[in-house]
Amino acid sequence: MSENTREFKNPVINWIEYRLPIFSFIDDSVGSNYPSPRNLNYWWNFGSLAGVTLVIMIATGIFLAMNYTAHVDMAFDSVERIMRDVNYGWLMRYVHMNGGTMFFMAVYIHIFRGMYYGSYKEPRELLWIIGIIIFLAMMATAFVGYVLPWGQMSFWGATVITNLFSVIPFFGENIVQWLWGGFSVDNPTLNRFYSFHFLLPFVIFALVFLHLWALHQHKSNNPTGVEIKGDADTIPFHPYYTAKDAFGLGVFLIFFLGFTFFAPNFFGEPENYIEANPLVTPAEIVPEWYFLPYYAILRAVPDNFIDAWGILPVIITAKEAGVILMFASIIALAFLPWLDTSKVRSARFRPIYKQLFWIFVADTFVLGYIGAHPPEGHFLLIGRIATAYYFFHLLILLPLLGKYEKTRPLPESIAASVTNAGPEEGQ
């Protein structure tokens, strides 16, 4: 056998391996030949959970696509047909619907974990940035997907969000009409959104491969944030983390399917069970929960274009500012590796950062709460304070903190941290 292939017991596998070394590739990627830090806690489960959820979304989505009709006159009823007359159509649809929520939950926890343990720091900056791109692709996929059932929120959500592009200087209006394929959200819009909704998950899939490729270059970060220094610091991915991930998946599925079977509409908006009607604006236009913090930032700017009752846009500078802030809130995350100037990765050894981290988490929850309410009175004021704090944390606090914070001494190595510190969390 040549150098980069390996000897297996099964002759068929050896025959394939000699010609296409896929088995050693798997073994090197998620098998016994991939060394992982020995101290990863359960917060490290959420990457694989997000990956599994992506596969579940694609699998259920394929079956839904077989029965869905992308036409403004038929879309709503075709979804109801899936719910009522297609064998187990309700199951596919409810799993897909709740899967979106679970995907975002897993990814949000995954992102916060990266922030807490400083996983984005050198040399994992690209790994982090690819992750942010995956997150953006997920948001686009979720947005176009939500339009497909053609309920009231589908239609009005699409109207509000596509209108954001009208802030682009000079060409804004043209771009919005180009996106719509007409002069309002209508049948051509629904058709292209369906096409995008089918395409984007496969783009995400490809990005996930890049994400893993970059991960395997320098291996996982770990709760100490100290790099792997020798064999004593690592254990093979299989069987240790395959077993741990499998258990985590079991717990996750209980949560996921618990909602799917017993409260499938818990995360949904009742209004979306009313068919889209361009002549009737809902009392409040609210996105799905996972977009609420961004929606709050969008509406935090004074005199925003979406007033309390969702009257259609009037171009004003405040609208542009809201849109720019909303996109900036995500783009800023991509710059975290440089905004966070501390040499120490893990919040375990950064006493002040640890507190700031939790305040930042609380701030995003406040933004989420504010996003669900009309931007008036107290809601608007608190939304503005929370928005300001979001950027204050990322753009001011983090760069300064790295320079002035007194960090705790780091352990010699991962192995040392495990043996000296008694029982380590999460093992």
Residues involved in catalysis: 216, 220, 244-245, 288
For 271, the token pair is 């209004």
Nearer to another protein, 1 or 362 (CB): 362
Residues whose CB is less than 8 angstroms from the CB of residue 305 and which lie 6 or more positions away in sequence, other chains included? 163, 313, 314, 315, 316, 318, 319, 322
Nearer to another protein, 68 or 135 (CB): 68
Closest among 152, 156, 146, 102 to 266, alpha carbons compared:
102
Nearer to another protein, 93 or 121 (CB): 93
* In contact, 220 and 130? CB cutoff 8 Å: no
Rounded CA gap, 88 and 104, in Å? 25
Nearer to another protein, 254 or 314 (CB): 254
∠ Cα 144 147 152 (to 5°): 155
Closest among 229, 234, 226, 227 to 409, alpha carbons compared:
226
Rounded CA gap, 369 and 231, in Å? 46
Nearer to another protein, 147 or 214 (CB): 147
- Inter-CA distances, 402 with 224, 399, 411, Å: 17, 6, 19
Closest among 304, 307, 427, 287 to 371, alpha carbons compared:
287
Nearer to another protein, 221 or 234 (CB): 234
Distance of closest approach, residue 189 Cβ to another protein, in angstroms:
23
Nearer to another protein, 16 or 249 (CB): 249
Distance of closest approach, residue 76 Cβ to another protein, in angstroms:
9
Handedness of CA 227, 229, 231, 233 (dihedral sign): negative
Closest among 108, 96, 26 to 66, alpha carbons compared:
96
Distance of closest approach, residue 368 Cβ to another protein, in angstroms:
11
Distance of closest approach, residue 12 Cβ to another protein, in angstroms:
28
Distance of closest approach, residue 116 Cβ to another protein, in angstroms:
16
Compute the half-sphere exposure of residue 113: CA atoms within 13 Å on the CB side of its CA. Answer: 19
Residues whose CB is less than 8 angstroms from the CB of residue 347 and which lie 6 or more positions away in sequence, other chains included? 116, 117, 118, 353, 354, 357
Distance of closest approach, residue 260 Cβ to another protein, in angstroms:
8
Residues whose CB is less than 8 angstroms from the CB of residue 255 and which lie 6 or more positions away in sequence, other chains included? 102
Distance of closest approach, residue 355 Cβ to another protein, in angstroms:
5
Residues at the interface with another protein (CB under 8 A): 38, 77, 80, 83-84, 90-91, 94, 235, 239-240, 243-244, 246-247, 249-251, 253-254, 257-258, 260-262, 264-265, 270-271, 273-274, 283, 351-352, 355-356, 358-359, 362-363, 366, 369, 374, 377-379, 382, 385-386, 389, 427
Nearer to another protein, 216 or 238 (CB): 238
The DSSP letter of residue 229 is -
Residues whose CB is less than 8 angstroms from the CB of residue 164 and which lie 6 or more positions away in sequence, other chains included? 298, 323, 326
Rounded CA gap, 133 and 189, in Å? 24
Distance of closest approach, residue 382 Cβ to another protein, in angstroms:
6
